[in-house]
Structure 1
Amino acid sequence: MAAALDGLKAYQEAERPPPPPAVPVAARAGRARLLDYGGDGRATIFVPSLINPPTILDLAEDNSLLRWLSGAGVHPYLVDWGAPTPDEAELSVAGHIENLLLPLIDALDRPTHLIGYCLGGTMAIAAATLRPPISLVTMAAPWRFDGFPDEARDGLRALWENAEPTAREIGALPMEVLQTGFWKLDPARTVSKFEMFGRLDPDSDKARAFVTLEDWANDGPPLTYGAGRELVEDLFCANAPGEGRWTVGGKAIDPAALSCPTLDIVSTSDRIVPEATAARTGETLTLKQGHVGMVVGGRGRTALWGPLANWLSRVQH
C-alpha cells in the first residue's frame, strides 16, 4: 500500500505532456461538435462513449487511432459530446442520439461509415437504424447487458440507489460516482498500477504514456441525470437493448435488422465490457487486448488499427 501511495503521489506531481494539435470543427449541434481529422477516404464518424472524454481515440500525437487512419485511406470525424448544460438534466442516452448525434450525421450530408466505441457503439447501433450508414463498426460495445457479471450489475445498481437522490437534485451524475464503479470491477489492478508507476523513471516514455492515459481515465464531464438513469436502470439493470425493448426516435433498435455491413470488434480480455455483452450480429473481429489497450496499447496498430482500415476499405462502396 505504501508503494501504491508513493506511485499515486508521483502521478499527481508528474509533468503533463502537451495535448495533440487541435483539429477543425466540421459541424455543431448544441454543445456537441464534429471534429474533422482530414484524409482522402470516405467520411467515417467515430462515436465515443458518454463516459470519459473522446480523446482516447486521439490520445497523443504519436498514439492516435484517428490521426493514423487519416493517412491510411480513411477520413475520420470524431463526435465531441461537450459538457451538459443545466437545462439538459432530463436528456437521456436516447436523447443524446436524437438531439446531438443525428444532427451531426445529417450535417455532413453525404454517406458515411459509422464507428462506435464502448457505450458509443451502443448509441451508434441506434443511429445506424435511424440514419443507415455505408457500414457500422462497434468496438468493445455492450448490447446484451445481461452479459455483465451479476456482481458488476448489482454493484452499479447499489451505487445508483445511493447517488440517485443527489443526482436528481443537481441534474447530473458526476464522473467520480461512475469511477467508483469502475474501480470496483478490479480493485487490485487500481492499486498495482500505481505501485508499478512509482518504480518507473518519470522521464521514460512508459511513464509519460501512463500519465496521459490515466489523466484520460480520470477526466470527463458528468452525465445528465436522464442519461445516468437510463444507463443504469434501463440498459444495465433491465437489459432493454438485449431484450429488444430499447427505443430511440420512436423505433425499436435491433442490430440484426440493419441492412448495412457490420463489424463487431470484441476482446476476450476486456474486463470493462466483457465479450459476452456483444451484439454479434454481423462479422466479428476477436482480439486479446483489453478495453483500452485495443485502442492505445502497444499492439493496437497491428491488432485493431490495420484490420479496421482494411475492413473499411473492403466495404467502401
Structure 2
Amino acid sequence: MLRSETAENPARMADALKGLRAYQRAQRHPAPAAMPVVATAGRAGVRDYGGDGPPVLFVPSLINPPDVLDLAEDNSLLRWLATQGVRPLLVDWGTPTPDERDLSIGGHVETMLLPLIDALGPDLTLAGYCLGGTMALAAATLRPVKRLVVIAAPWRFGAYPPAMRHALSDLWRQSEPTTDALGVLPMEVLQAAFWRLDPSRTIAKYEAFGRRAADDAAARAFVRLEDWANDGAPLTRGAARELMLDLYLDDRTGTGRWQVGGRTIDPISLPMPILEIASTSDRIVPAASAPGVGERIDLSLGHVGMIVGGRARAALWEPLARWLSQPQRS
C-alpha cells in the first residue's frame, strides 16, 4: 500500500517511513487503571465506572479493544459520564478460547451479553458502539431494557459501497484456510482491510506524525489511539464468517433475515426509547447503514473521532449525557 500510494513521490515514502519508525519507538504511557468487574458471563465481564444515576451498559465492538471508550484519563467518555449523573458500565469481551471457534456474533449475544444484562437487573439502558450497537439491537429485542442508544452501529449493510462489501467477502475467502486452521481470524487481517478504506489518509497520518515532537500532546494522543487501533483479540471463526458473509455480503440484518436466539431481529418493532447517533463522515460505518430507529443525531466527526476527537465532548458526549439523564419516557 505504501509503495502504490507513494510510487511517484519517493520523498513521501521516506516521510511515511520516518513517521512509522517514530511511532514504533515512541514512549508508551500507562493506560487508565482498569475498573472493577461487577458481573461475568464466560470470558466476558462488566467493568463499573461508578457514578450516581441510572446504569448504562456500553457494548463495544468485538473488533479492537473496548478501551476506545476509556482511552485516557483526560479523554474518556465513560469516566466523564460518571460525573454527569450516569453510572457507566462497560462490557469487556475478553479473548476467545479454542472451544469457541464456531461462536457467531449472535452467539456472543446469547451466551454473554444476555446473561450480563440479566445479572445487572431490569433498570438498564443499553448503549452499543459500532458492531456493539448491532449486538445491542439484538439484545434489546430479546430482553426488556429501559432505553437503547446505538452509536455508529451498522445495520443496513446494503448501504455500504458494493466494492467494499465484495472486498470483505474476498478477504474472508483468502483468509478462510488460515482461519479454519487457527479457529480465529487475527485482528491484523481486519486492520489491513481498514487501512485500505482510505490508503491515502493512512499514509498521510504517518507522514504528519514524523514531523511532530515526541513529547507533543497530540503525538502522545496519536500513539495511544494507534495502539488501540492496531490491537485487539481475534474474532472467532464463526463471528468472522457471519460478519463478512451474512452481514456485509448478504445484508441479513437490513433485509430482516438475521436471527438470534431463534428470533428475527427487527429494530423497528422495539418499544423502548431509542437514540441513534451517526456520523456523515464515517468511512467504517456509513451513516446510511444505520438502522433508522428512534431519535437521531447526525455528526461529522468520523467513526473514532466522534468518541475521542477534539470536538467529541461537545458534539456527542454532552448530548448523550443530556438524553441519558432525562426522565424515563415511554
Equivalent position SS for 1:185: coil
Give SS of 1:83's match.
Answer: coil
Q: More deviation in 77-86 or 18-27?
A: 18-27
Report the equivalent of 2:24.
12
1:203 offset after TM fit, Å?
0.2
2:212 alignment partner in structure 1: 200
Mapped to 2, the partners of 1:23 and 1:279 lie a distance apart of 31
Is 1:95 matched up with 2:107? yes
Matched ranges for 1:38-117 at <5 A:
38-117=50-129
1:185 matches 2:197: yes
Match of 2:183 in 1: 171
**Residues 27-38 of structure 1 mapped to structure 2, 5 A cutoff:** 27-38=39-50
8 Å CA contact 2:184, 2:237 repeated in 1: yes
The CA deviation at 1:181 is 1.0
Secondary structure in structure 2 of the residue aligned to 1:195: helix
Is the contact made by 2:122 and 2:144 (CA closer than 8 Å) also made in structure 1? Answer: no
**CA distances 1:166-200 after superposition (whole Å, capped 9, x unpaired):** 10121100001111111111111110000000001
Letter in 2 for 1:289: L
Structure 2 Cα separation of the partners of residues 148 and 80 of structure 1: 28
Distance 2:122 2:214 in 1: 46
Percent of aligned pairs with the same amino acid: 63
Answer whether contact 1:90 1:224 (CA < 8 A) is retained.
yes
SS at match of 2:298: strand
**Cross-structure match for 1:285:** 297
Amino acid paired to 1:38: G
Name the SS of the counterpart of 2:232 in structure 1.
Answer: coil
Q: For residues 230-266 of structure 1, what are the alpha-carbon distances to aligned partners after superposition, in whole Å with 9 as ceiling and x for unaligned? A: 0111000000000000000111001100000011100
The CA deviation at 1:315 is: 4.6
- Give the structure 2 partner of residue 133 of structure 1: 145
Deviations 1:44-82 (A, max 9, x none): 000000000000000001000000000101000000000
Root mean square deviation, CA, Å: 0.8
- Structure 1 alignment gaps of length 5 or more: none
Runs of 4+ in 1 over 3 A off after TM superposition: none
Aligned with residue 118 of structure 1, among 130, 137, 155:
130
1:233 to 2:218 alignment: no
Kindly provide the amino acid, as one letter, of the partner of residue 299 in structure 1: R
Tell me whether 1:310 sits opposite 2:322 in the alignment.
yes
Shift in Å, 1:210: 0.2
Task: Give the corresponding residue for 1:297.
Answer: 309
The Cα offsets for residues 199-249 of structure 1, whole Å up to 9 and x where unpaired, read as 011101000000000000000010000000101110000000000000001
TM-score (norm 1): 0.99
Matched, 1:253 2:265: yes
Q: Could you tell me how far apart the structure 2 residues matched to 1:91 and 1:39 are?
A: 34
- Identify if the C-alpha distance between structure 1 residues 49 and 180 changes in structure 2 by more than 3 Å, giving closer, same or farther: same
Q: Deviations over 1:137-176 (max 9, x none)?
A: 1000000001111111111111111001210121100001
Match of 1:55, SS?
helix
- Alpha-carbon separation, structure 1, partners of 2:247 and 2:181: 22
What is aligned with 1:142? 154
Distance in 1 separating the partners of 2:195 and 2:34: 31
Matches of 1:201 and 1:46, distance apart in 2 = 35
Q: Which runs of 5+ in 2 are unaligned?
A: 1-12
1:266 aligns with 2:278: yes
